[in-house]
Amino acid sequence: MKSSKSECAKNNSFSLSKVNMEIGTQNGSKEVSDLVLVRPLIDFLPDSGFLSNQPIDQLSDLIIGARVKNNSEEVAENVTLSVEITVEGTSIYDETINIGAITPGSSEYLFLPESFDGYLTGYDDITYTLNISVISDLIESDTENNHFSTTFSTSGNTFSRWLVNDYFVGSTNIPGAEPGDFIGVPFFFNHNDKIYGLRAFIKITNGDSHPVTFIPTVYQVGGNGEVFSSTGTEYDLGIDPEGSWYTFIFDDITGSDLCFGDGYTYYAGLIYYFTNGSITGDTIMFGADSSGSPHNYPKESIYHSSAEDIWYPLNCTPLIELLTSEIDDCVWTDISVDTEVIVSICPNPTTGQFNITGIENATIKVFNLLGRQVMQEKNAGEQTVLDLSGFENGVYFVQIESEGDVVTKKVVLSK
């Protein structure tokens, strides 16, 4: 039995980041702008999520627009909304739309009719800058007070996927749960992919201080309604009345049983057992942080009672994230320097240092769960030692490039 615990910053919801919004600032003799962006609209259609560190395959249904209000006493003529998206200062998307006039005191919603997905630059980790502005003849001829700016990023590696874009404030409290019950969240896949684990925010209040055993599990519902499941390593967790983020790892991310594709419904979550054999006074709560306030997550979740073999829908927020390792396909390959030598990482899990063998003249990059590079080693030799002891516990990706071949390995840091 192994335990893995990783901290997560409060309010770690997937949302817009680095927002800089200027509305109603002073412009010459004006104290309030006549034509303003009341609410920028940057969202997804259903089957999606928010914008920060998003998987690139979920940006296909990105909606961009704004609600524009005319604060003046005159009709705003020729109202034009402009949206520009740049990458490192280079414009990749620049579109405008005109809705004609807005009467005094009224507001209108503007949406760009064209999807953004055709302008994506690729599967790399990229930060985009988004600017929205609005102008009108006579009322507001410049954008000094009428613009919104933010950044968002995409990731080709690790993310959660959500089935519905429907949010709820609340947590799942399961007192006296039956051993073997399951709680999870429905997920979808636009591309074939592999999973390597999941994260969940859990509070445990156990009457007689015995640990609780959790087993990460993914259920697949087939076309005929049959249910298949894949399970990972068992984890024993002790009392945690404040609640913490926990990472649960599946043993073999190269296994075909953990390769998922489009067209099915998947439920990712946790089976749990009270290891003392008693359920008196035992409580497990999913979805509230240390202050008691849940994050913004979809309210659609499910609960499977093992005793009755029945699946129940839950109007709650269980805070479970599915972690995946690839986005384009489910072909897993190792770099082979020759016919007998295969790249290996040892020890794994590690307390800090680990060895990489079977490489020659390779470039090694290490990424955290957010897709940020934390380490790089060039011209790595036959045996290379890397040290992650200065970083937080969790899962890291080791990307190894040698002679044109690239392979990504997972390493678990547990100090």
DSSP line for 107-125: EEEEE-SS-SGGG---SS-
280 in Cβ contact with 236 (< 8 Å): no
Q: Within 10 A of 348 (CB to CB), how many other CB atoms are there?
A: 14
Radius of gyration of the chain (CA): 25
Tell me which residue of 215, 212, 147 sits closest to 176, measured CA to CA. 212
| 342, β-bridge pairs | 336
Residue 404 confidence (pLDDT) = 64
Length of the chain: 415
Residue 99 confidence (pLDDT) = 74
Residue 316 confidence (pLDDT) = 56
- At a CB cut-off of 8 Å and minimum separation 6, what does 308 contact? none
Q: Which amino acid is at 361?
A: N
- At a CB cut-off of 8 Å and minimum separation 6, what does 60 contact? 115, 117, 190
Cα-based distances in Å from 211 to 215, 236, 275, 283, 336: 13, 6, 6, 12, 43
Residue 20 confidence (pLDDT) = 26
| Cα 27-152-7 angle, rounded to 5 deg | 120
Tell me which residue of 70, 90, 6, 46 sits closest to 396, measured CA to CA. 6
Task: Give 242-278 as a DSSP string.
Answer: EEEEEEEE-S-TTSGGGEE-TTSEEEEEEEEEETTS-
Residue 4 confidence (pLDDT) = 30
Q: What is the Cα 330 distance to its own chain's centre?
A: 20
Report the alpha-carbon distance of residue 204 to residue 295 in Å, rounded: 18
Residue 166 confidence (pLDDT) = 37
Cα-based distances in Å from 286 to 34, 242, 402: 46, 11, 43
Residue 282 sits at φ, ψ, to 5 deg, of: -90, 135
Q: Within 10 A of 328 (CB to CB), how many other CB atoms are there?
A: 12
Give the chain's domains with CATH numbers: 17-155 (2.70.50.30), 167-324 (2.60.120), 344-413 (2.60.40.10)
pLDDT in tens, the chain (415 residues): 223 322 222 222 222 222 222 333 323 333 345 776 665 555 433 333 333 334 444 444 455 667 777 877 888 888 888 888 888 788 887 878 787 788 888 877 666 655 555 666 554 566 777 788 888 765 555 555 577 776 665 554 333 433 333 333 345 555 555 667 787 777 655 455 666 677 777 777 765 556 788 888 888 766 666 677 777 778 888 777 777 777 787 765 444 456 666 556 677 888 877 665 554 445 666 665 444 444 434 445 666 666 666 666 665 555 666 665 543 333 332 333 332 335 677 777 788 888 887 777 888 888 775 556 788 888 777 778 888 988 887 777 787 877 766 666 777 787 7
| 271, β-bridge pairs | 182, 215
134 in Cβ contact with 86 (< 8 Å): no
Q: Within 10 A of 292 (CB to CB), how many other CB atoms are there?
A: 11
Residue 312 confidence (pLDDT) = 64
